[in-house]
Amino acid sequence: MQLETLVVQFQQKDPKAFEKLYNMYAENICGVINTIVKNSDISQEICQDVFIKIWNNADKYNSSKGRFFTWILNIARNAAIDEVRSKSHKNSKQNLSADYFVGILEDSTNLDHKTDAIGIKKFLQDLKSTCVQIIEMLYFKGYTQKEASEELNIPIGTVKTRNRSCISQLRKNVLN
């Protein structure tokens, strides 16, 4: 079935469509949350809460505002960041600066054995560390271009082009 049709049915509160979307995206959403909270059990809990939120706010999504995945990705990031912040009581994205993917690539003893560290390494091989960082910031942590440029200490225009080439490399790795 076409994604667009599925999303429309989901917005009409069709539980069957919702289940399909859940099966399509649950692992991705939980994965994104996991890169932020770095805890398998907590990330699954938040993940469930995120899908409740998605169902309850179904009518707020509008395809002209972006991809469906982008919409739920944003909801998931915010939920995960809220969780981390409430725990640390520090109001800064600096809390998130410990990079998950970089950590996995550098540390052979993975913190969480429940994740597929080998799969992640395969996808991120040949990517420069700045690439891994920029992908993690923009897609998994919800950094703005400005925040990323400050964090990486590169010009804001470079964020866009570098991200483009990093994603191109990622795409090659995923296809192989």
Site residues, other proteins (CB under 8 A): 9, 14-16, 18-19, 22-23, 25-32, 34-35, 40-41, 43-44, 48, 51-52, 55, 63-67, 69-71, 73-74, 100-101, 112, 114-116, 119-120, 123-124, 135, 138-140, 142, 144-145, 160-161, 163-164, 167, 170-171, 174
**Shortest approach of other proteins to residue 122 CB, angstroms?**
8
Smallest CA-to-CA distance from 71 within 84, 83, 53, 86 is with 53
Q: How many residues does the chain have?
A: 176
Q: Are 79 and 50 in contact (CB under 8 A)?
A: yes
In the complex, what is the shortest distance from the CB of residue 90 to other proteins, in angstroms, rounded to a whole number? 24
CA 97 from chain centre, in angstroms, equals 15
Q: Which two tokens stand for residue 61?
A: 């999504």
Shortest separation between residue 94's beta carbon and other proteins, angstroms: 20
* Rounded distance between C-alpha atoms, residue 126 and residue 124, angstroms: 6
Q: Output 90 or 168, the one with its CB closest to other proteins.
A: 168
Indicate the residue among 18 and 83 with the shorter CB distance to other proteins. 18
Q: Report the residue number, 90 or 131, with the smaller CB distance to other proteins.
A: 131
Closest contact distance (angstroms) between CB of 162 and other proteins is 8
Q: Which is nearer to other proteins, 90 or 161 (CB)?
A: 161
| Residue closer to other proteins, measured from CB, 90 or 146 | 146
Contact 164, 142 (CB under 8 A): no
User: What separation in angstroms does the CA of 10 have from each of 4, 54, 55, 107?
Assistant: 10, 10, 8, 41
Q: What's the DSSP call for residue 138?
A: I
Residue 129: CB minimum distance to other proteins, A: 16
Report phi then psi at 143, rounded to 5: -65, 145
